Structure 1
Amino acid sequence: MEPIQVEVKQVLIVPDQPITTVHFPEAGWVSMLAPLEDGKAAEVGLVGAEGMVGLPLLLGSDRSTLEAMVQASGTLLRMGATAFRHALEECPTLRSLLLRYTLAFQQQVSQTAACNGNHALDQRLARWLLMAHDRAEGDEFPMTHEFLAMMLCVHRPGVTVAARLFQQAGLIRYGQGQMVVTDREGLEAAACECYATVRHHFEQLLGTTRG
């Protein structure tokens, strides 16, 4: 595997195009986005150091309907598709681990769909901030209201209002494209049950607290 540096908004997988490499994040994280006909996109999953980008190759396909876009810059380990397939054949333990991750990621995607359709914006925002915090290297990470609106598939003013309320409550602090989590327990209390549900599945399947 080859370590590479990636930057925000760098695209790793283009929908319906051959996947030639897989990526294992060491730092930073990647958003899995479902593109829509009007040019918008909705985030359906988040991948950090707990997982990999390029799951279709594990499951026997070389294409994805989703776009993989870097949301927080960092270091990724990159492996070519052919080498990855050989590694799966030679190491059953690797295949088993990645299949368990696939189950965990599937749960994250399913719970995201249920969450977006049933829970209030402030609950969804708290859940997403907790997911990002899990994958950040500290309490501070890059984030803008524009990016949050795209990730949550809502209009930017709604995100601005919810974020302002969280800041006034002392849960977060933000400005100049940076987000700081100042009260983790408060965010967990503000989030819906979806965060804890997905985190529980990740712990069961992978032994990680990232959900």
Structure 2
Amino acid sequence: MATILYVTANVKAEAASRSLLLGSEFLEEYLRLNPRDEVQVLDVYRDSIQRVDQDVLNAWTRVERGEDHALLSDEERHKINRIWRMADQFLRCDKYVFVTHSLNLWLPAEFKMYVDATCVLDRTYRLTPSGSEGMLRGLPRKSLHLHAATAYSLAGERDQSVAYLRSVLNVLGVAHQETVLLKGDDPETGSWEEYETVRSKLLGLARTF
């Protein structure tokens, strides 16, 4: 039995998003094949993600200096506990599915806030004499990133979303990563042939994920 963390980053309703529709189909097929697995769903727009603000930075600094957690202010303790819970959830899960879309050559700000709440020193990665080391390194963790890129060229510039998430997962130690790309997120303007091609690929991945 495995635990999947299913993370979406799209403000649209599911019916208005090709990536959300495809992600839902993948998850449905996966659960049909693996009915005993548990899914934890996180929508970074719906679920409140704690931002790394001044209170969080102050709390981290004080805790790293060895100060007792109980001596933090109520606000600092509340915020840092929320971030720790998110990092701990990530650490506990066995598989990760990310359903995202491009926004100005990158991921939405809410998703970056989620990454910041997940990459936490001494919770999901540690520092060693040779550099950082992900707490998941050596563990059989898997990820799937379904990403809807911009359907048109932006002055020839390259979208950074997929490369960024891949780098973050490498830092944390997620060794087995799959990426599936979609051109555009709008069901009304996107290619139906491409949709079916991506759908077929995702349903195939559901059997081996």
TM-score by length of structure 2 reads 0.28
Question: Relative contact order, CA 8 A, sep 6+: which one is greater?
Answer: 2
Give the TM-score of the pair, scaled to structure 1: 0.28
Bigger radius of gyration:
2
